[in-house]
Amino acid sequence: MSYIARQNEIMLRIAAAAQQLPVLSSGLWFHHDIRDNFYYASYLFAAAENQQGQVSIGSAAAKQTAEAVLLAVLNLQDKEQGSATYGHWPLNLGADPREAAPNPLPVELMGSLMAYFVNRYGSRLSMPLQEAFASALKHVYQSRFYLQTNVFGHHDAKYTSAKLIFGQLFDDSALLEDGARNLKRTLAHIRSQGMSEYNSLPWFWHWVQAFTCAWQLINDRSIKQELADMLDFLWLERASFYLKGAFVGAHCRAQRHDIPLDSNVLHDYVQFGDFALPAVMPRTEYAGFLFYEASSGTRSIAMNRTEPAEVKKRIAKQAEAGASTLHSYAYITNDYAAGGMWERSSEFDNEQHRWDISLPLSKQAGVNQAYFFHPSDLNAKEDPRHQTGHSEVLFYRNTIMALYSIPNGTLDRICGILPPIEWLQEPGMLLGRSKQVYFVVYSMQPCELERESDRVSVSSSGQHNGVVIEVIGAEEAQLRGLNGFEAFASAARSRKPEWSAVDSLNVRYITGDHVELMLDMDGNGGAERNINGQAVDFTQYTI
């Protein structure tokens, strides 16, 4: 299936869903986020215009509905030039969208996507809608929302894209040149410093969408080439952490629908197409419209994992407390990936997802990530993303070790999330298997399991605690002489880790090699990490 066919599949799926939605008295489908109205209406209009909207009300009625929703969206823009929110739209619309306060977020990406939509479909819009779009885009341009200090984050990616798009659209050469300078600076920065918003969803896709939108619209050849260079960098970054729809390793942040199940996958689906399009699409945005084809080499890195790969990256972070350096590690095979961030970092809304073991996306329901954490709040059951810094880790190929030294007065429990495969619980260990992979999870303290429809939740109490997780592909195990799951389980039982919490908190484990993780009992003295008696030095990673 070509990428065009996959885009059409997304377009038709979303258009069909839009046609089933009741139009509210406001003239919109959704009041939770104005952007979803724009996205769904764009897809419905495109499907109807292309006569691909295979629904009972027909393409003419579908176009009429889409145009009405688009017009309702445009009418909510702040058009008062003296207003502090001039050119903006509200975000969450509440009970009465006309009373919702404008917000700086919707215009960042939606403004540029509106320019793309008009460029592609403008001549086929009704005259009232053409005029409404022309007016809205002029207000966006005149608002100057994009004139911000560049700190090389996802907001800046959208500001830079907007400068290029609106500079060209309104024949503003100074703005276009400013955008071109920002583009060069941003690309140079992430090439030399890494992406400080490492593997963050949905922010990473905002980078991709913003620059793809600009690339598809910009006429200037030199700027277009610089945009292509930017997109080549971004897709290589994505491919490096890609496993059949999964975004493996550590994440700066993620929405709830991406932890512990990768769900923001539409751009991956269009680019790679090596997994089934999921039934639920929580972030539609413009994956069905925008596309930049990654190079054959980049696609090969993502899709041809015949041999295990280690991905090691150094990332520069800027924060109010000062600059710091983080080090990311991932071990990726065709059947699983393991890894994360060596350092704990306080990210936006405490959302650093420090490590996990990821499985490829499957047609079967259920989470595809396995990880443990010390929760920072009591809501871990409903939202297992927020964790404290009371842990230290060791990553070694297909093995992850984590120790938890939890201070007095703090919740003395760690939580775990496991995929809903077959699990066997034995004293001090869990054995898991699917057709493709085998797991062993060792725990320092006893565990309680709760089997749910889409996951297995684990809870383990104790001020001093730890886990060791090893995963191996079933075929890989056979090559190592472990002929089947029972042979794997027998070997796992024979080499349980050695735990200690006397002078220091430590764990020793043999996984072909000898790995050891140690930290002070109070958790304040840092960690020692050894492999075969040699100290681990991850500080030598490159960008």
What per-residue confidence (pLDDT) applies to 373?
Answer: 97
Give me the torsion for CA of 45, 46, 52, 55, rounded to 10°: -20
270-304 confidence digits (pLDDT tens): 999 999 999 989 999 999 999 999 999 999 999 99
Q: Give the chain's domain count.
A: 3
- Rounded CA gap, 368 and 359, in Å? 5
In 10 A of CB 481, how many CB atoms? 8
pLDDT-based confidence at residue 52 (cuts at 50, 70, 90):
low
User: Final residue of a domain: which of 266, 288, 310?
Assistant: 310
Cβ(206)–Cβ(325) below 8 Å = no
3-class DSSP assignment, residue 77:
coil
- Asked whether residue 258 is assigned to any structural domain, the reply reads yes
Q: Is pLDDT at 145 greater than 80 in this prediction?
A: yes
Q: Which two tokens stand for residue 1?
A: 């299936």
- What's the domain range around 29? 1-145
Cβ(352)–Cβ(371) below 8 Å = no
Same domain, 60 and 30: yes
Same domain, 425 and 302: no
What per-residue confidence (pLDDT) applies to 250?
Answer: 97
Same domain, 137 and 152: no
What per-residue confidence (pLDDT) applies to 333?
Answer: 98
Nearest to 290 by CA among 2, 1, 4: 4
- Rounded CA gap, 516 and 86, in Å? 58
CA separation, residue 419 to residues 260, 359, 367, 472, 490 (Å): 9, 9, 5, 15, 22
Instruction: Name the strand (E) or helix (H) holding 515.
Output: strand 513-519
What per-residue confidence (pLDDT) applies to 318?
Answer: 79
Rg value, the chain, Cα? 25
Beta strands in 226-342 (DSSP E): 242-243, 246-247, 309-319, 322-332, 337-341
What per-residue confidence (pLDDT) applies to 320?
Answer: 66
Q: What percent of the chain has pLDDT over 70?
A: 98
- Rounded CA gap, 60 and 48, in Å? 7
- Rounded CA gap, 262 and 275, in Å? 12
In 10 A of CB 539, how many CB atoms? 9
- Asked whether residue 476 is assigned to any structural domain, the reply reads yes
User: Final residue of a domain: which of 125, 145, 165?
Assistant: 145
pLDDT-based confidence at residue 349 (cuts at 50, 70, 90):
confident
Q: Which two tokens stand for residue 192?
A: 């030399």
- Asked whether residue 349 is assigned to any structural domain, the reply reads no
- Asked whether residue 317 is assigned to any structural domain, the reply reads no
- Asked whether residue 327 is assigned to any structural domain, the reply reads no
The contacts of residue 313 (CB under 8 Å, 6+ apart) are 194, 198, 240, 327, 328, 541, 542, 543
- Asked whether residue 449 is assigned to any structural domain, the reply reads yes
In 10 A of CB 540, how many CB atoms? 8
- Rounded CA gap, 160 and 186, in Å? 9
Q: What is the DSSP letter of 276?
A: P
CA separation, residue 191 to residues 232, 333, 414, 444, 483 (Å): 11, 26, 37, 41, 45
3-class DSSP assignment, residue 357:
strand
pLDDT-based confidence at residue 525 (cuts at 50, 70, 90):
confident
368: left (phi over 0), alpha (psi -120 to 50) or beta: alpha
Helices (H) and strands (E) in the chain, counts: 13, 23
What per-residue confidence (pLDDT) applies to 54?
Answer: 56
pLDDT-based confidence at residue 51 (cuts at 50, 70, 90):
low
The contacts of residue 528 (CB under 8 Å, 6+ apart) are 516, 517, 518, 519, 535
- Rounded CA gap, 51 and 115, in Å? 23
Same domain, 207 and 133: no
Same domain, 168 and 245: yes
Q: Which two tokens stand for residue 226?
A: 């610089």
Same domain, 423 and 515: yes
Same domain, 418 and 501: yes
Instruction: Name the strand (E) or helix (H) holding 391.
Output: strand 391-396
Same domain, 179 and 66: no
Q: What percent of the chain has pLDDT over 90?
A: 91
Cβ(120)–Cβ(113) below 8 Å = no
- Asked whether residue 346 is assigned to any structural domain, the reply reads no
> Concatenated DSSP letters for 22-59?
PPPTTS-S-SS-HHHHHHHHHHHHHHHHTT----TTHH
Same domain, 158 and 101: no
Same domain, 8 and 82: yes
Q: Is pLDDT at 451 greater than 80 in this prediction?
A: yes
**296 class by beta-carbon count within 10 Å (0-12 exposed, 13-18 middle, 19+ buried):** exposed
- Rounded CA gap, 172 and 167, in Å? 5
Q: Is pLDDT at 522 greater than 80 in this prediction?
A: no
In degrees, rounded to 5, the angle at the alpha carbon of residue 279 between the alpha carbons of residues 472 and 62 is: 155
Nearest to 257 by CA among 285, 238, 240, 281: 281
pLDDT-based confidence at residue 526 (cuts at 50, 70, 90):
confident
- Asked whether residue 319 is assigned to any structural domain, the reply reads no
What per-residue confidence (pLDDT) applies to 508?
Answer: 98
What per-residue confidence (pLDDT) applies to 350?
Answer: 82
Q: Mean pLDDT for the chain?
A: 95
CA separation, residue 165 to residues 104, 121, 159, 259, 400 (Å): 18, 16, 10, 34, 45
3-class DSSP assignment, residue 262:
coil
What per-residue confidence (pLDDT) applies to 524?
Answer: 74
CA separation, residue 445 to residues 192, 227, 427 (Å): 43, 52, 10
Same domain, 123 and 173: no
Q: What is the DSSP letter of 158?
A: H
The contacts of residue 308 (CB under 8 Å, 6+ apart) are 331, 332, 333, 397
Terminal-to-terminal C-alpha distance of the chain: 34
Cβ(362)–Cβ(264) below 8 Å = no
Same domain, 166 and 121: no
User: Final residue of a domain: which of 122, 145, 168?
Assistant: 145
